[in-house]
Amino acid sequence: MGTASDAPAAAAAEEEEQQQQQPKLLQRTLVFTYGTLKRGFSNHPLLQDLAQRGDASFVGAAVTASRLPLVCGPYRVPFLLNLPGEEGADRVAGEVYAVTPRGLARLDELEGVSRAHYERLPIAVDLAEGGCARVDAVAYYAHRDYAAELWRRSGEKGYPEYSHAVADGYIRRKDRPQGQTFLEQIRIFVSSQS
């Protein structure tokens, strides 16, 4: 059994361990997911894999602080548009994850950030748990080069949530035509009639 003199040493060791853990927590970025990365959707296995590797953890359900357009593009792919306050837009429901830099790199790859499919930008969201705390996060928005065109193509009407009903008809990347890039598919989609 320990003595009273062991208590300060134990407390110091515990404090040191907490300080070592803190940088790991501080290195995480909060990511707001609103589409296929959410639980129950086709790209969620990536977040599950990241969680198993310690590179992501679920924080909670959330809703955007601002009204933002959420639309579907080609193949029912969801796009959050960085067009705050547009008439026909809603506060969008989704999920927040705390992600390490390594996990963020994998998400960037999935979202085609280097290929101008999506861009990772700041977003304020309200967490559903804990008194609806507002937190700063990032989200993958439709790239600015075609966001306004997607909004026009959608009839300037968005969705409050990418639900299974909204996603009905979604086609996975591997099942889409392989002769065109995703940007070409988006350009064809926005130039076609609804």
Q: Is 36 exposed, middle or buried (0-12, 13-18, 19+ CB in 10 A)?
A: buried
pLDDT tens for each residue of 18-70:
445 445 555 899 999 999 999 999 999 999 999 999 999 999 999 999 999 99
Backbone angles phi, psi at 29, to 5 degrees: -110, 135
pLDDT tens for each residue of 109-128:
999 999 999 999 999 999 98
Q: Which residues are catalytic?
A: 111
SS3 call for 22: helix
Residues in the chain: 194
Give pTM, 2 decimals: 0.84
